[in-house]
């Protein structure tokens, strides 16, 4: 696991090929295996591969997320805020687990923040923009989008010697 974590980097450039059905299935299975507070599983996932929708989805942020239209697949992660007050934590865990499963499958991924962000033009929240575009029912809030694809950029992994060990405190701060 540590080796996988050292290797993982955010990838924003992807080859045009589609993500295989098998990889997508495994990533979605990983998401559904995520732990959640009180096992309430407040998350829902929308897998988007339609080019036109991905093009539109690129406008979910200001300034726009330029790489999203060229991303082969995107998984929109939303939580039911009426089910639990910790849907943000639950959805974040699912996002991370999907990123790690993607990494094991040789796929690149990148988190695109939606919650607390504004859409292109800054007239609408990113949440409202995505909800409108994807016909998401009222009670859900969009946390983030996971961009996914076969990497078309290489980034160096991280070395254990370079970690910020000063962030770790013993017994008290």
Ligand X SMILES: Cc1cc2nc3c(=O)[nH]c(=O)nc-3n(C[C@H](O)[C@H](O)[C@H](O)COP(=O)(O)O)c2cc1C
**Which chain residues interact with ligand X by CB under 6 A?**
9-10, 12, 110-113
Name which of 39 and 106 has its Cβ closer to ligand X. 106
Question: What's the min distance (Å) between Cβ of 84 and ligand X?
Answer: 19
Question: What's the min distance (Å) between Cβ of 151 and ligand X?
Answer: 12
Place of tokens 């970690």: 163
Q: Tell me which H or E stretch contains 46.
A: strand 43-48
Neighbours of 38 (CB within 10 A): 10
User: Which SS3 state, helix, strand or coil, does residue 40 take?
Assistant: coil
Question: Tell me, what DSSP letter sits at residue 72?
Answer: S
Name which of 45 and 111 has its Cβ closer to ligand X. 111
Question: What's the min distance (Å) between Cβ of 132 and ligand X?
Answer: 19
Question: What's the min distance (Å) between Cβ of 80 and ligand X?
Answer: 20
Name which of 12 and 59 has its Cβ closer to ligand X. 12
Both tokens of 18, joined, read: 């589609």
Query: 45, 42, 33, 44: which is closest to 74 by C-alpha?
Result: 45
Angle between helices 87-104 and 21-32 (to 10 degrees): 140
Name which of 21 and 160 has its Cβ closer to ligand X. 160
Rounded to 5 degrees, φ, ψ at 115 are -60, 135
Name which of 60 and 83 has its Cβ closer to ligand X. 60
Question: What's the min distance (Å) between Cβ of 152 and ligand X?
Answer: 15
CA distances from 21 to 67, 69, 169 (A): 22, 20, 44
């Amino acid at each position: 696991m540590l080796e996988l974590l050292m290797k993982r980097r955010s990838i924003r450039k992807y080859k045009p090929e589609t993500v295989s059905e098998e990889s997508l299935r495994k990533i979605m299975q990983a998401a559904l295996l995520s732990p959640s507070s009180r096992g309430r599983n407040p998350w829902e996932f929308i897998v988007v591969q339609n080019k036109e929708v991905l093009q539109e989805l690129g406008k979910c942020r200001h300034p726009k997320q330029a790489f999203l239209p060229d991303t082969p697949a995107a998984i929109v992660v939303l939580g039911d805020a009426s089910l639990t007050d910790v849907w943000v934590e639950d959805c974040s865990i699912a996002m991370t687990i999907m990123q790690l499963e993607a990494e094991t499958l040789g796929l690149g991924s990148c988190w695109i923040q939606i919650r607390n962000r504004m859409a292109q033009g800054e007239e609408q929240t990113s949440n409202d923009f995505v909800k409108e575009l994807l016909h998401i029912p009222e009670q859900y809030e969009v946390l983030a989008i996971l961009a996914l694809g076969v990497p078309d950029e290489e980034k160096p992994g991280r070395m254990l010697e370079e970690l910020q060990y000063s962030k770790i405190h013993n017994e008290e701060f």
